[in-house]
Structure 1
Amino acid sequence: MNWDWEKLRENQQKFEHKREGGGPSMPRPPQMDELLNRFKSFKFPGVFLVVIVIAALFFGSSTFFTIETDEVGVIQRFGKYDRIAQPGLNFKFPSGIEKVTKVKVKRVYKEEFGFQAVKGSGNYRLASSSSQETPLMLTGDLNVAVVPWIVQYRISNPRDYLFKVKDVRAILRDMSEATMRTVVGDRSINEVISKREEIALAAKDILQKEMDQAQSGINIVTIEMKKTNVPEPVQASFNEVNQAIQEKEQTIYKAREEYNKAVPLARGEAKRVIKDAEGYAIDRINRAQGDATKFSAIYQAYAKAKDVTKKRLYLESMLEIFPNLGTKYIIDSEQKNMLPFLNMGGGQSAAVPQNRFLNKSE
């Protein structure tokens, strides 16, 4: 606040002039010390400056905001959804008008079921019976299995994630457990233990459909099945049953192996015998046909020259028969007595040659 010093002097002179002339008294103008004291005590400009600075900081911080690369900003205007802010520097109306909620859309969240993670390591341990989570499930063949698993997911729709479901994590855990019990309930205990990847894929598909139907705004990345087993009290009996089943299967495999060795061998031998028989039949047929053709040719020759053909047939027959007879004695049919020097009952006589013809002249 500035003072007009010239005006103050004129007022002071007028006051002194009137006082000398006996006029009415005028109020005394403020002195310099009083003005300095009043100026020191007057703090309005400093307070106003501080208020301006605070207001500028407040409006600046509430209107400009930054979104990281792995998130988006959900902006509400008077509590109602308005738009999505992308990564980078963004502007909005001051607080009270618009509100921004940052949501991590690229981060992979996970929920664990049936086991507890050991801090400081990558190992897991099954949850105890007193734990809030229970991994016990009933299988399709009415056995009880210990089934631990992990659900990994991302936020795919920030609007649905924030406004459509009150507690997304709670509904995810409930639906995940219900889905896993449904999938496990359709399989035997051996399938639950040995086919964990197949169960995880089936559970993932069903759980994603349920979460989409609930408009939860999340996308199931994967379901990881941990080691599945039976409860500890029945593990010994279960192992004995599995051992018996394995021995049974081993015996069946050995029997099949022997079967696969013997049956093909027998089939091959049967085919060989059949082929030999077929070959023998063909050979006999061909021989018979050849003999018939030969006989026909001989008959035709015999019909043309009976004596010559008959003699030739006789001679050819003798040529085939005589080499197989061994020692031969030809005796004249008109001889009445046996010669005394012929040893008919003993072996070959040295004095009698083989194939000797005997007649009356001898």
Structure 2
Amino acid sequence: MGNAYCVMCSCVGQASVGVVERWGRFDRLAQPGLHFFNPLAGECLAGFLSTRINSLDVKIETKTKDNVFVQLHCSIQYRVVKENADDAFYELQNPREQIQSYVFDVVRAHVPKMNLDALFEQKSDVAQAVLEELEKVMGAYGYNIEHILMVDIIPDPSVRKAMNEINAAQRMQLASVYKGEAEKIFMVKKAEAEAEAKYLGGVGVARQRQAITDGLRENILNFSHKVEGTSAKEVMDLIMITQYFDTIKDLGNSSKNTTVFIPHGPGHVRDIGEQIRNGMMEASSAQVNLME
């Protein structure tokens, strides 16, 4: 794997191991530190191997089961096993190319069996398959595979665009559903509010009419007791005429009203009084029926 160094002594660095040969044949491993060699006995330092963790990035292009071409970025962390450094030194000429070839082989054997969505969900399974294959093969050559990382999965640009459009359409559909539900709730609440407002308005009108009826009844009774010889009908007519003229006065004083045509005359006043009186009698009769 390297040229032999015919020297009397040499220093092996930390996180490294030296390979010592005797007459061209492997003799022993030199651990970190200072070592002396006897050239007269045929000893020489054949080379060094680093025991640090190395990283190899591999890009593999393949296709999935649903015929989508993807590019996978795979990162392999490996190191030389110190005890088997002689195998790593003598057996492989280029370990990085060897590891890359096995990664290509395993990935292209597994990915075509999976759909694109399954590949994204199960990329750790692909990494595990690569790890098992590399450990089995590279272990025989003195290498240990530390980690396999499936860093990225990049589909074809047209496929990524289509996937983004599908995702956007699904989100728009979901947003439309939520918007429809919100409008439905708004309309229901609005209808409930209108119904409640109408109910409360009816209650208010009923109470207003009841208060008017009670006030008129009290005025009629007070007037009848204080002025002798007057009947309830006469008092009612007097109150109606007073209310009639007050209403006309209010209409005349209001600046927001335009011209209003109303019938006027003694007969019309009498008709209005009879209508109000009939209404009061009907309200009193209804109240009596409710009390019974």
How does the TM-score come out when normalised to structure 1?
0.42
Alignment partner of 2:61 out of 136, 149, 155 = 136
C-alpha distance in structure 1 between counterparts of 2:40 and 2:102, whole Å: 37
CA RMSD of aligned residues (A): 2.9
In structure 2, the residue matched to 1:187 is: 114
Deviations 1:108-140 (A, max 9, x none): 1111122xxxxxxxxxxxxxxxxxxxx321123
**Contact 1:179-1:207 within 8 A present in 2 as well:** no
Alignment partner of 1:231 out of 134, 151, 156 = 156
In structure 2, the residue matched to 1:146 is: 71
Change (3 A) 1:96 1:247: farther
C-alpha distance in structure 2 between counterparts of 1:200 and 1:178, whole Å: 13
**Contact 1:63-1:95 within 8 A present in 2 as well:** no
In structure 2, the residue matched to 1:108 is: 53
Q: How many residues align?
A: 168
Deviations 1:39-60 (A, max 9, x none): xxxxxxxxxxxxxxxxxxxxxx
Give the drift of 1:192. 1.7
C-alpha distance in structure 2 between counterparts of 1:96 and 1:228, whole Å: 56
In structure 2, the residue matched to 1:208 is: 135
Task: Give 5+ residue unaligned stretches, structure 1.
Answer: 1-60, 115-134, 251-362
Letter in 1 for 2:141: S
Deviations 1:227-273 (A, max 9, x none): 2131113321233455678899x8xxxxxxxxxxxxxxxxxxxxxxx
Change (3 A) 1:244 1:99: farther
Change (3 A) 1:92 1:99: same
Matched, 1:81 2:26: yes
In structure 2, the residue matched to 1:68 is: 13
From the two aligned structures, give the one with the greater helix fraction.
2
C-alpha distance in structure 2 between counterparts of 1:66 and 1:177, whole Å: 39
C-alpha distance in structure 2 between counterparts of 1:216 and 1:185, whole Å: 29
C-alpha distance in structure 2 between counterparts of 1:146 and 1:70, whole Å: 35
Give the drift of 1:62. 1.7
**Contact 2:62-2:71 within 8 A present in 1 as well:** yes
**Contact 2:55-2:76 within 8 A present in 1 as well:** yes
Matched, 1:222 2:167: no
Task: Give 5+ residue unaligned stretches, structure 2.
Answer: 1-5, 175-292
Aligned to 2:49, what secondary structure does the other structure show? strand
Give the drift of 1:167. 2.2
In structure 2, the residue matched to 1:94 is: 39
Letter in 1 for 2:106: T
**Alignment identity in percent?**
25
**Contact 2:68-2:156 within 8 A present in 1 as well:** no
C-alpha distance in structure 2 between counterparts of 1:240 and 1:233, whole Å: 11
Deviations 1:91-119 (A, max 9, x none): 222289222112111x11111122xxxxx
Give the drift of 1:143. 2.2
Rg larger in structure: 1
Letter in 2 for 1:182: A
In structure 1, the residue matched to 2:87 is: 160
How does the TM-score come out when normalised to structure 2?
0.51
Letter in 2 for 1:111: L
C-alpha distance in structure 1 between counterparts of 2:26 and 2:67, whole Å: 49
C-alpha distance in structure 2 between counterparts of 1:155 and 1:65, whole Å: 21
